[in-house]
Homo-oligomer: A and B are copies of this chain.
């Protein structure tokens, strides 16, 4: 069952539109004498948000998402359209592949010849930064799907909404594709609203990017699988170091500000983690059942161990400390990895027990790897569907998958609260089973 189930209603799933689609879709040209690739998505092709019998019983119109895909009619006249792509926030595997997919689909399938890339995120819209837009053609994006990083460049943090929309108007952009995380989705919604207020016809299509896989109604975010695979290298390294030293302990910090999906999934991918700490599940440091005692027990029993900690885990240990916010507006987290390293070292020193602790923080190495085959295929589809949606005149939405179908989700649904690991669900149960870690909470009166 989907781990995240806050209740929505049918009318919350409606996708805004710039106006009626009246132009025949040039994608129909694919349909040839072999009769393949001839089908368009109809207006009633939708998939239920809650595909469970008990959730639909007695309901007239249970909420459902519009299916993504090509429509028989489109809104924009391709030769007249100028489209723009912007990539925001932190690095994530697959961004280049996604940009390439959007460019190729616009160019070859829809015949759009005027495509530009915005440099370095939202800064690229603001004149004072002095970045020029980059013309995007099939030649420019050739081969980039195999490379890590983002060739357009990215930056964190918001920019004034009015300035961005001014820039869109000034440059005559009709369709904007925004690739980014929660902050970018908020910016996308604000841009959409500003556009609506000005009564101009510019479409805004978002493609959610979150290496933490933590956006609501986004079943799978691109780059996540690749990040998990890359993370296993760090865990294996920690395990090798731990087993190769007397009382060896490997401590690995992974991403995961609010949600521990990367850490949980990476734990399951290998068999080497003994303690997996994520933001969703609290743990005590001290006390009989606390982490320190449990690590000591593990080392006493087996002589080595691996602790994996998501960057957002254990933040209650820093309560009362305000570290401010980063350029994206997120609160700066206390560094739980460095803190645990210090506390564990102290603990063993006090106990006068040997300890060889190796701390590994591979963050940028994971964010910048090239996308796996599967993430390349996935970003290919995301790009196609973003273009189909945008060309049809839809706006204020993002492309997502739900129940394994590509769908359109209003931005308003996706922002506001995060997808998180359900401590009662199958994923966390599997982590508990894989690590064998007990509950790390000191109950009053013992467990």
Chain A residues in the interface with B (C-beta under 8 A): 1-2, 30, 32-39, 44-48, 51-54, 56, 61-62, 64, 67, 69-70, 91, 104-105, 108-109, 119-120, 123, 129, 131, 142-143, 145-151, 153-155, 219, 225, 228-229, 232-234, 236-241, 243-246, 248, 265-266, 268-271, 281-283, 289, 356, 358, 360-362, 364-365, 367-369, 372-374, 376-377, 380-381, 384, 403-406, 423-426, 428-430, 432-434, 436, 438-443, 447
Q: Report the Cα distance A142→B67, complex, angstroms.
A: 42
Partner of A358, one of B219, B364, B404: B364
Q: Smallest distance from the beta carbon of A260 to chain B beta carbons, Å? A: 12
Copies of this subunit: 4
Judging by beta carbons under 8 Å apart, are A229 and B374 in contact?
Answer: yes
Which residues of chain B come closer than 8 Å to A234, judged between CB atoms? 365
Residues of B within 8 A of A46 (CB): 52-53
| Pairwise interchain contact A404-B404, C-beta atoms closer than 8 A | yes
- Can you list 5 residue pairs at the A/B interface with Cβ under 8 Å? A35-B439, A39-B424, A105-B433, A266-B373, A404-B404
Point out the residue from B53, B268, B374, B432 that lies within 8 Å of A48, measured CB to CB.
B53
Of B32, B225, B432, B434, which contacts A380 at CB under 8 A?
Answer: B434
Q: CB-nearest residue of chain B relative to A434? A: B380
Taken together as a complex, chains A and B put the C-alpha atoms of A2 and B67 apart, in Å, by 11
Distance, CA A127 to CA B434, complexed state (A): 36
- Closest B residue, CB atoms, query A431: B37
A368 to chain B: which residues have CB within 8 Å? 236-238, 240-241, 244
> Could you say which of B244, B358, B433 contacts A154, with CB atoms under 8 Å apart?
B244
Complex CA gap A38/B423 in Å reads 9
Chain B contacts for A244, CB-based, 8 A: 91, 149-151, 153-154, 368
User: Closest Cβ of chain B: how far from A376's Cβ, in Å?
Assistant: 5
Q: Known contacts A33-B439, A47-B51, A269-B373: does B38 contact A424 (CB below 8 Å)? A: yes
Known: A48-B53, A374-B374, A377-B269. Is A237-B37 also a contact (CB below 8 A)?
no
- Residue of B240, B432, B438 near A149 (CB, 8 A) is B240
Instruction: Kindly state the separation between the CA atoms of A283 and B32 in the bound complex, as whole angstroms.
Output: 12
B423 contacts A123, C-beta separation under 8 Å:
no
A123/B246 contact (C-beta < 8 A), A368-B236, A374-B229 known: yes
Contact: B154 with A37, CB < 8 Å? no
Q: Determine if B406 and A426 form an interchain contact, defined as CB atoms under 8 angstroms apart.
A: yes
Residues of B near A239 (CB, < 8 A) are 149
